[in-house]
Amino acid sequence: MTDHPHNPEHSNHGRVIDGLLRWLDDTRPAPPGWAHAHTVDDAITLIRAATTFTAADLDHWLGPGQDTGMALLDWMRATHTWPHRLNIHTSDPTAYDQMRNHLRTHAPHLP
């Protein structure tokens, strides 16, 4: 988890070499090499299909009528499915704080 809430270019994901990378965002394009999920359901499908889950980079707001990135964090907690690294890139500072606090409480092992 990184301390740069608004800019995905400053996340920890630049050093990941192997494993599968998951990007959750409805509008921003995924960086090269990242599997792009536009919804929480898409992200869960991609994660379940993976044998290795190295990193995730999550947005909060995913469009009208869609679950938010917080729902994916809830699923990760419920299934004990955590990547080695996780970044939050939402532009909503309140949502960022909520997601970060969720991670501090339920996934303190994440960097």
Please list the pLDDT of the chain residue by residue as tens digits (111 residues).
443 333 333 333 333 334 578 999 999 999 998 999 999 999 999 898 887 888 999 999 999 999 999 999 999 999 999 998 999 999 999 999 999 999 999 998 887
- Work out whether strand 35-37 and strand 85-88 pair parallel, antiparallel, or are unpaired: unpaired
Edge-to-edge strands, sheet with 55-58: 35-37, 21-24, 55-58, 85-88
pLDDT score at 12: 36
pTM of the predicted structure, to 2 decimals = 0.81
pLDDT score at 31: 92
- Work out whether strand 85-88 and strand 55-58 pair parallel, antiparallel, or are unpaired: parallel
pLDDT score at 19: 59
Asked if 56 contacts 82 with a C-beta cutoff of 8 angstroms, the reply is no
